[in-house]
Amino acid sequence: MLSAVCAGMMLWAPEASAQQAAVSTAEAREIARDAFIYAYPLVLSGVTFDVGKNVAEPIGTSAPLNQFGHMRQFPDASFTIVVRPNADTLYSSLGYDVTKEPLIISVPASGDRYYLLPFLDMWSDIFTVPGTRTTGNGAQTFAIVGPNWQGTLPAGVTEYRSPTGLGLLIGRTQTNGKSDYESVRKFQDGMKAVPLNGYGKPYTPPKGTVNPNQDMSAPPDQIDRMDAAAFFAKFAELMKDNPPHANDNPILDRIRRIGIELGKSFDLASAPKDIQDALNAAPAQALPQIKSAWSEAGVLVNGWRTNVTAIGTYGTDYLHRAGVAYGGYGANVIEDALYPTAFADADGKPFSSDKHYILHFAKDQTPPVRGFWSLTMYDERQLFTANPINRYAIGNRDKLAFNADGSLDLYIQSGSPGKDKEANWLPAPKSGSFTMNLRLYWPKTEATNGSWAPPPVKRVD
């Protein structure tokens, strides 16, 4: 009996490499769609990684591999590179490769300044967030090590094991207006990244290699234009150095049935015709689902849509992971930030620049945070718009005028509400529609569990 069982197992094994069993046309299409959704964050990370490191030396947030890049000032109305920018923090970024050795990162003390350094693996999951909330504001030194690295770090260096060999940091440092730039830049300049073999020695980062043929357009736009052959080939290559998570075995088993195997390259042209057809159809099937998952994420309360689940870390919720990667790549876990978004007023009508609105917070009901909060204005392009006082966001770091009863009114309109109210004025565009984002940095429990919600924005004219 035992020999018969073993013989049966041996007969099965050779068939397990590419397609363990025949799949119907309908099933192949389902698996191909699911494979695209599963792969999307990894491929997007790969494109983002290639774009970000394609410079000879740091320029803004772009920098060669294993080097910091820093944003030095807030975007203004001329900024069009990224939609829904913020005017709260200055970004610091770093694309790392720890496939060969760890990268040691030193961060200076930040005093009483709030900051966070979320590190994303290549599947877009945040695996560690050194910073004010987690490690405090003192100086610190830590190492990002690869998934298979074995060795000893220098004394006093904390180890963070990256689930993937490559990854990205998208850090934020609290910045209290333009007058604060100099202090923030000093803090940014104190951040250092050195490979383990250069730690404790004089070290000069090497110049980066520039690929003149690299498409430098927005990564989501690149994937929108990518055909199935290029998408799935890149996916297979990226998986070699960036292993799937431990709970991904079921989806890996499914995609193996259509010829995509962990650790192996993939050539669409070599696949059977029915598999080629299924994979070629996958982008058109999957992309609308991914984009809808982003736009419809979260719960709607008082006209504000807030995502409090499936953001930052995702488990096996691959659709929402892909949706956030598409529309908000690098979004923080809710313990670090919440982003309620308002598209309409209290009556459900879209915001219009020829109307006047008030956002009224009752006494002690402003956004509950340990860090800080802001309200940011976006025009119909999802960008900042020119206004008479060059104000794109307003929040608790501004000199707000509270009412006698302790409540707070924010005036949202294109023209001045009057000199006596301009301290609380968030200018709307001169024309057209607009939307707004609240940002709650290091939100308190009542915000993350839903017991507090932003009040409705009321039209008052």
Q: What domains are there in the chain, each with its CATH number?
A: 55-198 (2.60.40.1610), 340-459 (2.60.120.600)
Would you say residue 19 has pLDDT above 70? Answer: no
Quote the CA–CA distance of 39 and 123 in Å, as a whole number. 8
Beta strands in 273-322 (DSSP E): 299-301, 304-306
pLDDT (mean) for 49-56: 94
Tell me the CA distances in angstroms from 345 to 256, 320, 350, 376, one per residue in order.
Answer: 48, 27, 6, 15
Per-residue confidence (pLDDT) for residue 70, from 0 to 100: 97
Quote the CA–CA distance of 28 and 179 in Å, as a whole number. 58
- pLDDT tier at 296, thresholds 50, 70, 90: confident
Per-residue confidence (pLDDT) for residue 94, from 0 to 100: 97
Using DSSP's 3-state secondary structure scheme, residue 255 falls into: helix
DSSP letter string, 359-398: EEEPTT-S--BSS-EEEEEEETTSS----TT---EEETTS
Q: pLDDT of 397-452, one tens digit each? A: 999 999 999 999 999 999 999 999 999 999 999 999 999 999 999 999 999 999 99
Q: pLDDT of 249-260, one tens digit each? A: 999 999 999 999
Q: pLDDT of 121-157, one tens digit each? A: 999 999 999 999 999 999 999 999 999 999 999 999 9
Quote the CA–CA distance of 363 and 366 in Å, as a whole number. 8
Measure the CA angle with vertex 278, ends 275 and 281; round to 5°.
145
pTM of the predicted model over 0.85: yes
Measure the CA angle with vertex 167, ends 280 and 261; round to 5°.
40
Q: Which residue has the higher pLDDT, 445 or 17?
A: 445
Per-residue confidence (pLDDT) for residue 12, from 0 to 100: 29
**Which residues lie closer than 8 Å to 11 by C-beta, 6 or more apart?**
none
Would you say residue 20 has pLDDT above 70? Answer: no
